[in-house]
Each structure stands twice: as structure tokens, then as C-alpha cells.
């Protein structure tokens, strides 16, 4: 079976994790700090605050904006469900907006259509690694949280996604390009916000446990506010540091494979594949294709047929408003979201995918769509 994704990990990651274990420092410590600095530098952010997942990073970001009961936060329904759930964690209401058919991302128009006087923020997702047109949202005058779970190494107007973001949340789940097993990062531009974010991930402590131990003498910490345990471990950060060193090679390889998919897939009539928007480049975290309007075969049947041929594809990006967890949740019409979620599928793309396997995927897809 050709998997849809396989993380690129080697002996270096195993050794780095072992070194962290041998050092005796396994909770958040010096490796977490080093990973934060290296990651922030790579994505052009002023400060990195490592956390346990992108989901907890999103929760912290909204908490930092003081989002609470009675507030509304605009999110795309077309996203992993954690994007919307983070709003509910704050007791606020996620308000679903539709997306661009081309990129799968929110647009200033779709957001403006759902803004009310209770709107407190927008969570802008760089879906599947395709950068959102961040600057186009400035006119809305609303705080923006970037859900960059998938976007490590994607670019926007020639700079890394994340450069200049006031709050951006990143994921290191194995389904993403870089992995620490589980893990996430919040990047922040304001130094005072970064101080508070560090405190919020660690029970609201005035002095981090790592600084207390490193300091030697007796330091009594205070708990300044009700907060969370969203820490990353030094074992995870050790792996993350090695993974970060692979990022450029991972993206180069994914883009090479994506270009090859583009030329192979051209023979399937009407099939549309994700590609770079005019203003940036995607890291091809998810290589999705949209079936043509007149493809006689239903998307789920295409997935079944691919599986029967040894190709593990996945449905396209989910639509949160269609899940039971959001049953009865009011929303505007979301026609593009519903079309993309029902007509798209994600093809296998990972560092060690071979040309032969890629040919096999495209042959299987051509057959599955009855396009031959």
C-alpha cells in the first residue's frame, strides 16, 4: 500500500531523543528553548513559544486576545476541526466563512460577509500549506491569528509564511512536514505577549521550572493567573531541532514531486490540482486534486477504487460544519466549502515517494475516474 504520508525521520532524530533522555532533562528545558529560537528564526518570527500541539497554540492565541463568552471568531469551516474547536475552548462562537475555490483559504470578501459587531478575531488558515493572502485582510481591522499548522516553509511575497504575523500557530504532528511526534509552536511578534504566552503554557508561573532549576539557588515561583499545562518536552524539541534542519530538503523534494504530478495528471480531463497562488508558494503539505464536474464516479468511490489498487489516498480537507460536533450550529451558505470537501482528495506525497509509485498513483486515479 502506498501511504498518503510518511514522516522523514532517521537515526539523527533517534540519537537526539536518546541524548535528551540521557541528559536527565526530559521536561521543558534547554532543548525547548533552542528549538523555539531556531524555529522562530526560520519562519521570520520574533519569538517562538513551544507548546504541546497546534491546537493548544490556537487556544493560547485566542486566550491572549481575550476572546471569551459572547464573542465571535471567524474561521473557515474548511479546515481541520481544531481550528473551530479552539474558539469554543474560549467559550466563544466560531462563525464559519466560505473560502476561495482556487486556494481553499478565507478571503477578505467571505470574511466581511459574516463580520458582526461581536466579531473579535479571524483565524486565517494557510490550508494544506497554500499561503492565505494575509495582507488582503488588513482592511477588516480585526486581529488575525494565523493557523499555520501546515505552512512551515511556505512563502508569501517571497518571505516565509509567519514573517510579521502577530500570532501564528504551527503543528508538528506526524501528518505535517516537520514532526516531534506531537507538538506545536506559537510564534509571536510582541515581546510582552511572548512573556505572557510562556507563562500561560506553564500554569501561570512567574518563573519557568527550567529557569528555576538552571538558576541553582532558591527561587520561589508565584502563580500569576489561571493558566494551562501546554508544555513541550525536551525529548520532542531534540527531535524537532533535527527535523528543522531537514525542512528545506523536504520542501524541495515535495515541490519536485508536485511538479511531476502536475504533468502526469494533465492527461485526466477536467482534473484540477492544487498549485501555487500568484502571491506565494505552497510547501505541498497536502497535494489535493478536485474531480471534474462531469467525473462519473463519486469521490468516495474513487477513494475505494484507489485503495483496491494499493493507493492510500484521503478525502480532501474536511468541512467542520458538516460534522456532528457542529450539528445545529448556525452558519451562512458555504457552497465552495461544500464543493471542495466533497469533490477533492489528497494523493500520496512524501519525501521517499518514488517515480514508479507516483506513476502507479496516477494510473490508478485515471482508472478510478473512468477517464481511460
Which residue, 63 or 173, has its beta carbon nearer to ligand PLP?
173
Choosing from 25, 35, 39, 80, the residue that interacts with ligand PLP (CB under 6 A) is: 80
Continuous segment of H or E residues that includes residue 95: strand 93-97
Which residue, 160 or 184, has its beta carbon nearer to ligand PLP?
184
Q: Does 306 bind ligand PLP (CB under 6 A)?
A: no
Catalytic pick among 33, 59, 176, 343: 176
Which residue, 92 or 150, has its beta carbon nearer to ligand PLP?
150
Choosing from 28, 79, 243, 282, the residue that interacts with ligand PLP (CB under 6 A) is: 79
Range 137-166, binding ligand PLP (CB under 6 A):
147, 149-150
Total interface residues for ligand PLP by CB under 6 A: 14
DSSP 9-54: --HHHHHHHHHHHHHT--SSSHHHHHHHHHHHHHHT-SEEEEES-H
Alpha-carbon distance values, 263 to 106, 130, 300, 305, 367 (Å): 28, 19, 24, 22, 17
Q: What share of the chain is helix, strand, coil (3-state, %, to 5)?
A: 40, 15, 45
Q: Does 83 bind ligand PLP (CB under 6 A)?
A: yes
Which residue, 251 or 368, has its beta carbon nearer to ligand PLP?
251
Smallest gap from residue 61 Cβ to ligand PLP (A): 12
Q: Does 184 bind ligand PLP (CB under 6 A)?
A: yes
Choosing from 77, 93, 103, 171, the residue that interacts with ligand PLP (CB under 6 A) is: 171
Smallest gap from residue 318 Cβ to ligand PLP (A): 10
Smallest gap from residue 83 Cβ to ligand PLP (A): 5
Which residue, 54 or 241, has its beta carbon nearer to ligand PLP?
54
Q: Does 125 bind ligand PLP (CB under 6 A)?
A: yes
Q: Does 55 bind ligand PLP (CB under 6 A)?
A: yes
Q: Is 176 a catalytic residue?
A: yes
Smallest gap from residue 366 Cβ to ligand PLP (A): 28
Choosing from 59, 173, 198, 201, the residue that interacts with ligand PLP (CB under 6 A) is: 173
Strands 314-315 and 344-347: antiparallel
Burial of 232 (0-12, 13-18, 19+ CB in 10 A): buried
Burial of 260 (0-12, 13-18, 19+ CB in 10 A): middle
Q: Does 236 bind ligand PLP (CB under 6 A)?
A: no
Smallest gap from residue 178 Cβ to ligand PLP (A): 11
Helices (H) and strands (E) in the chain, counts: 11, 14
Which residue, 171 or 283, has its beta carbon nearer to ligand PLP?
171
Can you tell me the distance from the alpha carbon of 241 to that of 261, in angstroms, rounded to the nearest whole number?
Answer: 30
Q: What are the cell numbers at 335?
A: 457552497
Contact 201, 51 (CB under 8 A): yes
Continuous segment of H or E residues that includes residue 76: strand 72-76
Range 25-54, binding ligand PLP (CB under 6 A):
53-54
| Torsion over CA: 87, 88, 92, 93 (sign) | positive
Can you tell me the distance from the alpha carbon of 223 to that of 97, in angstroms, rounded to the nearest whole number?
Answer: 38
Q: Does 105 bind ligand PLP (CB under 6 A)?
A: no
Contact 8, 250 (CB under 8 A): yes
DSSP 284: -
Which residue, 251 or 362, has its beta carbon nearer to ligand PLP?
251
Smallest gap from residue 149 Cβ to ligand PLP (A): 3
Binding site for ligand PLP (CB under 6 A): 53-55, 79-80, 82-83, 125, 147, 149-150, 171, 173, 184
Q: Which residues are catalytic?
A: 176
Amino acid at each position: 500500500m502506498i501511504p498518503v504520508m510518511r514522516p522523514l525521520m532517521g537515526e539523527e532524530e533517534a540519537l537526539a531523543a536518546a541524548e535528551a533522555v540521557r541528559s536527565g532533562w526530559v521536561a521543558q528545558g534547554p532543548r525547548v528553548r533552542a528549538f523555539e529560537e531556531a524555529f522562530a528564526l526560520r519562519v521570520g518570527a520574533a519569538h517562538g513559544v513551544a507548546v504541546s500541539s497546534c491546537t493548544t497554540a490556537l487556544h493560547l492565541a485566542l486566550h491572549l486576545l481575550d476572546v471569551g463568552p459572547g464573542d465571535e471568531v471567524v474561521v473557515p469551516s474548511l479546515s481541520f476541526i481544531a481550528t473551530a474547536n479552539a474558539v469554543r475552548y474560549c467559550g466563544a462562537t466560531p462563525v464559519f466563512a466560505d473560502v476561495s475555490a482556487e486556494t481553499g483559504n478565507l478571503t477578505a470578501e467571505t470574511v466581511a460577509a459574516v463580520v458582526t459587531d461581536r466579531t473579535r478575531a479571524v483565524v486565517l488558515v494557510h490550508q494544506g500549506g497554500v499561503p492565505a493572502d494575509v495582507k488582503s485582510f488588513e482592511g477588516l481591522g480585526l486581529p488575525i491569528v494565523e493557523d499555520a499548522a501546515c505552512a512551515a516553509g511556505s512563502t508569501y511575497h517571497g518571505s516565509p509564511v509567519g514573517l510579521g504575523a502577530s500570532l501564528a500557530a504551527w503543528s508538528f504532528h506526524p501528518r505535517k512536514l516537520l514532526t516531534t511526534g506531537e507538538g506545536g509552536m506559537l510564534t509571536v511578534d510582541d515581546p510582552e505577549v511572548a512573556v505572557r504566552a510562556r507563562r500561560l503554557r506553564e500554569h501561570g508561573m512567574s518563573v519557568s521550572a527550567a529557569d528555576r532549576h538552571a538558576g541553582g539557588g532558591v527561587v520561589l515561583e508565584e502563580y500569576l493567573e489561571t493558566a494551562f499545562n501546554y508544555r513541550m518536552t525536551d525529548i520532542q524539541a531534540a527531535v524537532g531541532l533535527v527535523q528543522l534542519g531537514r525542512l528545506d530538503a523536504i520542501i524541495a523534494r515535495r515541490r519536485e514531486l508536485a511538479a511531476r504530478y502536475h504533468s502526469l495528471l494533465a492527461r485526466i480531463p477536467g482534473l484540477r490540482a492544487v498549485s501555487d497562488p500568484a502571491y506565494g508558494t505552497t510547501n505541498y503539505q497536502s497535494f489535493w486534486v478536485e474531480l471534474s464536474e462531469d467525473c462519473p464516479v463519486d469521490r468516495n468511490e474513487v477513494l475505494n477504487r484507489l485503495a483496491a489498487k494499493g493507493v492510500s489516498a484521503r478525502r480532501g480537507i474536511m468541512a467542520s460544519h458538516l460534522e456532528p460536533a457542529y450539528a445545529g450550529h448556525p452558519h451562512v451558505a458555504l457552497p465552495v466549502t461544500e464543493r471542495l470537501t466533497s469533490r477533492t482528495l489528497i494523493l500520496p506525497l512524501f519525501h521517499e515517494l518514488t517515480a514508479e509509485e507516483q506513476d502507479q498513483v496516477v494510473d490508478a486515479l485515471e482508472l478510478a475516474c473512468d477517464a481511460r
